[in-house]
Amino acid sequence: MPQAPQQPPHRLRDYLFVGLQYLLPHHLLSALMFRITRSRLPWFKDLLIRQVIRLYRVEMSEAANPDPAAYSSFNDFFTRALATDARPLDRDPAAILCPADGTLSQAGVITDGRIFQAKGRDYSLLELLGGDAEWAERFASGSFATVYLSPRDYHRVHMPAPGALRRMLHVPGRLFSVNPATTRLVPRLFARNERVVSLFETEQGPLAVILVGAIFVASMDTVWAGSITPGPRDQVRCRDYGEDAATKLPRGAEMGRFNMGSTVILLFAKDRARWSDDLQPGGHLRMGERIGILDRG
């Protein structure tokens, strides 16, 4: 079982950064960022792209199109495709694939309906799933993994295992940052932020791939529903996919993407996922690599 490393001490600037977020108009700022990142003014979008490449040391040689000026907008660059050989998939069909480039925040077992967030912090499985008690029961005592995507990472999300989509929920909420400092300090962070919950059936039981929004993330995309933007602030939007019309996606297939960075949470049923021994919080991950094994029992 992966063990959490020693947490760094909280710093005054972390408290100030988190405290400011409680006061900010999250959705207004995100709507503004939506417009900015889709500007097609050549000088403006090229400036933004160059600055992000420089500040975050983005590896453009991995991109399907390595020319920064070729992207029509900053968002087009941010959600860029990779070269076909940039992320080979683990060949073992029982391997759980990492769904995205990023850093492992936590991985472990869902205990008493609670998911570990950081030292002294956890949150409710039922709340994470937008109050869907039937699906929450199916993940009871199951396994979870949380992957944080930084601005330098590849921002498309892929299937960790083959699955058939059964339900999608868009859960309204806040848009706190999901960086490590905020994760340590904001209670129930991932159950408070806006999120898109995709629920699949697999040969090993249920699978959830949850895209968690964050500050400046004005929308998230799925390959079956396109761009999903905020709706009523207090209403969970649900769409079911019948068995005959279910969207079936193979392992490694793109299932969605973030328009700006955030976090992916995976959920598996009890005794269906065994995380790799070398999977450690804080470790950098690449999409397609093995992070665990599915129990086909």
Q: Which residues have a Cβ under 8 Å from the Cβ of 9 and sit 6 or more positions away?
A: none
From 30, 177, 219, 262, active-site residue: 262
Tokens standing for residue 225: 């529903």
Residue 101 DSSP class? S
From 26, 158, 177, 221, active-site residue: 158
Task: Please indicate whether residue 158 is annotated as part of the active site.
Answer: yes
Tokens standing for residue 254: 């793109």
Distance CA 296, CA 112 (A): 24
The strand pair at 195-202 and 220-222 is best described as unpaired
- Which residue is associated with the tokens 């199916």? 138
Please state, in angstroms and as integers, the Cα–Cα distance from residue 117 to each residue in 76, 110, 207, 240, following that order: 31, 11, 19, 29
Task: Please indicate whether residue 170 is annotated as part of the active site.
Answer: no
Task: Please indicate whether residue 240 is annotated as part of the active site.
Answer: no
Residue type for 61, please?
Answer: S
> Which strand ranges, in their side-by-side order, compose the sheet holding 273-275?
95-97, 290-294, 273-275
Could you tell me if 253 and 209 are in contact, meaning their C-beta atoms sit under 8 angstroms apart?
no
Backbone angles phi, psi at 188, to 5 degrees: 55, 35
CB atoms closer than 10 angstroms to residue 150: 15
From 27, 101, 155, 219, active-site residue: 101
Q: Shortest CA distance to 193 belongs to which of 20, 9, 27?
A: 27
Q: Which residues are catalytic?
A: 101, 158, 262
